[in-house]
Structures are given as C-alpha cells and as structure tokens.
Structure 1
Amino acid sequence: RLGSYNGHNGSVWTIDVNWDTTAFVSASADSTVRLWDVQTGRERNIFKLEAPSRCCAFSYDGNRILYTNDDVMGKPCEMYVVDIRARPSEGASARINITQKQLRKVTSSLWGTLDEFIVTGHDNGELVQWDLKSMDEVRREKPHGGQIMDLQTNKDMSFLISSSKDNTAKLFDIETLDHLKTYVTERPINSAAISPLKDHVILGGGQEAIEVTQTSVQTGKFEARFFHLIFEEEFARVKGHFGPINTIAIHPDGKSYASGGEDGLVRVHHFDSDYLDYDIAY
C-alpha cells in the first residue's frame, strides 16, 4: 500500500478519477462527496448532502462532477452537477429531483459523448439519458428486470455496457440507447467492462453476498467471465475470488484488469501472450 485517503466515515460506494489522474471524486454513505488530490492525498473539497451519496463521476474534460443521493430518511433522490473550478459557496450548477420525475433511485451514472449528456441507471432496471442544457430527461428505456449495478463505456465512448441483478449485461449505443447485445449468465452481474484492445467484455458478479456463507466457491460462480463483444458467447473464466466480484476495471492498454470482491481482495490480472496474440477471424 502506498497510502490512504482518510476522511469518509461510512462505506465508499463509488470513486472516479479525472482524465489525467491528478484528482478523484468519492461518494459515501456518510452523506458526503469528496474531491481528492491523487498524489498527495489532500482533500480538495467536500460536498455535504442530507442523505447517503450513491454515485459520482468526473466529466470528460475534468472540470465538472456529477453525484447523486439516495431516497432515504424522507429525502428525495437527487442528482447534482458541480463545476469544481467555482467557489464551494456557489453550490451546484444544476440539481435534478429524480424522485419528483417519477423515477426510482439512481444506482449508477456516467457522462456521455463530449459531456453533452448524462446517463443514469436505476434500481428498477431503467436507463435514462439527461440533456445537460435543459437538465431534463430526453430518453428513458427499461432494458433490465432488476437493479442496474454498473455502467461503463468503451474506449471512444460510443457504447455503454450495463450490468444488472437480472443476470445479464447489455450493450447500448450511448447516444440513442439502442440495445445492441446481451450477455447472459445464471448469477447477478455487478460489473462489466469493455476491452480497449479486443472485442471482449469481462463480467463480474456471483451469488448474492448475503448467501455466500451457505455456498461453496464452485456453486457461487465468483469467476470473472469473458464474452465476445459481437458474438455474445462466453469463452473463458478466471477464478480467484471467494465471494461475489463487485467491480471490474480494465487497464487502458487492455493488457491487464483488476477485480474487487466481497472477500476483501483486489486482484490484478495480467494477460499472457497467448491471450494477446489470439484472435477470432470473422
């Protein structure tokens, strides 16, 4: 361990690093969102909310962040957009009452192409696209039958992949939210990532954490699972975790990936030459 970022007093649910990895933002159950200096660990700013914060994300240009809070303790679910160059006293540049728009709690979020819109995933399986100029929804789809756990884009931000408790991950056109591909498993999927190097996606999940103590590693399905992006077929699994995989991130060069699990471990896997050299002709 190189160091720790100390400040939160509750579970940290989401972190996101800006484009040049000089800063990151974290959302926590302690009802705060914090902005950090990556190199020094210094807390640059703190945004206080009246309910636990579930999601946060840096804009592509690194000048704005979005974050959300849960609909608990009588508080509505809301989404905020903040320009981090402004003084903290100026507050959020935009604030949307999600609950008021008859939408369920936001469970995942990301910025769209050129920071012109935002896409949110909800606990009832809905995907919603928000226009940043009008700060209103422009598209709403319901592709999943369960909570959307994670949203990630591909390298050029033309596609997004969603992972859900309904045992599927799905690929969409990020601008139109047109459904393109589906990757099916027999266990909830908590995270899905698109390789920047190959036409592959990596899925992570497994049996619900509450049931893990009653389950063997073999039947819990805790492997990272590899699917072909286009053919939607599974072709490999990587074992290692002794509990559900909560998050997966692929290195920008596509030659390694990291997975974080309910077992308290973060595993970093480097692909061997056989994987990097192999390709499917089609």
Structure 2
Amino acid sequence: MRPLLLKGHERPLTRAKFNREGDLLFTTAMDKSPSVWRSSNGERIGTYKGHNGAVRDISVTWDTTRVITGSADNSAILWNAETGEKLHQWHFKSPVRSVAFSPGDAYIAIATAKLMGQASNVFIFAHNKSSNEQTEEPVKVLEGHEGTITRVLWHASAEILLTASEDKTIRKWDVEAGEEIQCVTAHKNDIKDCQFSADYAMVITASKDHTAKLWSFHDFSLLRTYTVDHPVNSAAVSPIFSHILLGGGQEASQVTTTGDRQGKFEGKIFHLVYEEELGRVKGHFGPINTVAFSPDGKQYVSGGEDGFVRLHDFDPDYFTKGQEGLV
C-alpha cells in the first residue's frame, strides 16, 4: 500500500473528507486555507481563501457544488466548491469547531466552542440552495453540552443530529423540536471524533482515553471497544468490510524521539467484530488527527500533525482477503 503524499498545508491537519462520489478530497488544517484534491492522483485543485484563523472542519453538498468551513476566527463560510467564491459568512461569539450539511442540503449545522464565556451550541440554519443570499438567524439552537462539541453529524433522515463533545458524551437531537433525545457518557476523556457507518446504523467514537468505541445509533448501546496505547483522535468504519480504522498518537508535548518507532503514529486497522488489530500503516511523523474511508472503500486518507495528507490505495490482496473474511 504505497500512499500518495499530499503536501500543501503549512500546519497540522484537522479534517480530511471525501465528497459523495469519492473523486474529490477536501482537507482543513490549522492554517487558513482549506484545500481540495483529486483522489485519483493527489493533485491539489485549489484552496478556499477567506478565513483568518485555523480551520477545523469542512462539509460538502450532495452534488459537490457548495462547501462550508468552520474556523477559529469565529466564523463559518459558505463557498462555491468549484470556483472558490465566498458566498456567505456567518459570525459567532466563539470559534467554530464543526459544520455539516443535512442530507438534501436544506440545512446547515454549525457547532461552536465553549470559550470566552460562551457555551458550546449547535446553530441550525436554513440553506438557500438556489441563491447566494442566506439567512443570518438560525432556525434552531441546540443547547446542553457542558464541553466543546468536536463533531456534529446529520443522520440520513435529516431529522436527527448527532454530536460528540469534550464533555465525554455523545448526544442525539430532534432538530425540529430543538430537543435532546438521548445522551450517553461514552468515554473517560475528551471525544475527538465520531463518524457514522455507511448504513447509519452504527457510530464510531474516538477518544483521548486510548479507545475507539462502536455504538448502535438506535439506542446508543455499546457494541465493541478498540483499545490502543495512545490517544485516538479519529476513527472510521469501512463501507465494504468489517474493518475499523484508527488514527492518533501522543500529543506534541508528550512525544519523544522514540514515538514513531513505538508505533504511536501508525494508522491501525481493527476487525470490527473481533476487536483484533489486523494491521498498521506507517508514514506520519506525528499524531494522526483525522482519518476517513472513501465511499467505495478502496482508499483511505489520513491527515497528521506533521502537516501531511496521506492518501492510501488498498492493495488488490486486501479485497481478496476481505471478501474471504480473512482480514
């Protein structure tokens, strides 16, 4: 598995995600320039210029015509995905940590950080898909988290939101009612990431407590736990095999020169059911901050503290063994 090394960011990566078709890869970093790349060859097509602080998250519409980004400059920006034109900018009283278009793109969820005396909330805005004109006032504000929300995701129904937070909880929300449906204390430390399985039946959470956990979205029952010897910053579920991908590593202040040799910065693949580690992928020179599978499961991306994006194509034998249930 020889990865493409994508160099374009000057600071640590914060998010990497594919569009629905999987032909484009979108990345954000602690620099001010979200980027878009071709997943086939790693070519950087362009950047989105307009933020004045670290960019923490990015979301893409179903048809890849628009992009939204959230930044530490206390704003979220709506962009024309192809031209990079800034269409609208929402301003908040604290940094934006996560953003997400709803299925169908009728709404945008924007989660802010708990900082400067502000609570961490989710603001729901109506998205005018046919115009650059957008409303400034949210249609709903979801309140309740006691720590900064690190990820906001829409369920396929577009009626339910999922949030993960530094308060160690994951929560389910009825968007129309503006009410919390369910809350579970999922980890012993900050939750850094959460992602849905392809069928939306399961949720994987990644935490500083050295674990990733798989949950039933229906009732938040714990299905599996994957344990490593370092903080887990991101985790993803393969759309084609029973595989879990983990990325993480010790924080910069705790990293020693032996960290890489000890496997602290490797991507790790676990068996979803048996919780066994199946393999490791080396390459990053610091903690992995974000991982994602491509929609067809043939690639995965990792973004690191080292500022690099590594785009991995799985070898043919991975699919042979995967279909036979050997990996």
Give the Cα–Cα distance (whole angstroms) in 2 for the partners of residues 240 and 214 of structure 1.
15
Q: In structure 2, what residue type is equivalent to 1:179?
A: L
Task: Please state how far the C-alpha of 1:118 moved relative to its aligned partner.
Answer: 0.8
From 247, 261, 277, give the equivalent of 1:218: 261
Give the Cα–Cα distance (whole angstroms) in 2 for the partners of residues 257 and 220 of structure 1.
19
- After superposing the two structures, state which structure 1 stretch, 235-244 or 104-113, moved more: 104-113
2:140 maps to 94
2:8 maps to none
CA 1:2–1:34 in 2, change beyond 3 Å: closer, same or farther? same
From 112, 115, 119, give the equivalent of 1:69: 112
Point out where structure 2 has 5 or more consecutive residues left out of the alignment.
1-43
From 216, 228, 232, give the equivalent of 1:189: 232
Task: Please state how far the C-alpha of 1:199 moved relative to its aligned partner.
Answer: 0.9
More helix by share: 1
The alignment status of 1:43 with 2:86, answered yes or no, reads yes
From 13, 33, 38, give the equivalent of 2:76: 33
TM-score, length-scaled by structure 1: 0.94
Deviation string 1:45-101 (CA, Å, 9 cap, x unpaired) is 1111111111111111112110111121122222100111185345111113336xx
Deviation string 1:167-208 (CA, Å, 9 cap, x unpaired) is 111111113211111111111000111111111011000111
The alignment status of 1:280 with 2:290, answered yes or no, reads no
Report if aligned partners of 2:187, 2:209 keep a CA contact under 8 Å in 1: yes
Q: Which has the higher contact order (CA 8 A, sep 6+)?
A: 2
The alignment status of 1:120 with 2:167, answered yes or no, reads no
Report if aligned partners of 2:259, 2:265 keep a CA contact under 8 Å in 1: no
Moved over 3 A (4+): 213-216
1:255 maps to 298
Task: Please state how far the C-alpha of 1:250 moved relative to its aligned partner.
Answer: 0.8
2:99 maps to 56
Paired residues, what number? Answer: 279
Q: In structure 2, what residue type is equivalent to 1:144?
A: H
Aligned-pair identity (%): 40
Report if aligned partners of 1:110, 1:119 keep a CA contact under 8 Å in 2: yes
Task: Please state how far the C-alpha of 1:217 moved relative to its aligned partner.
Answer: 1.4
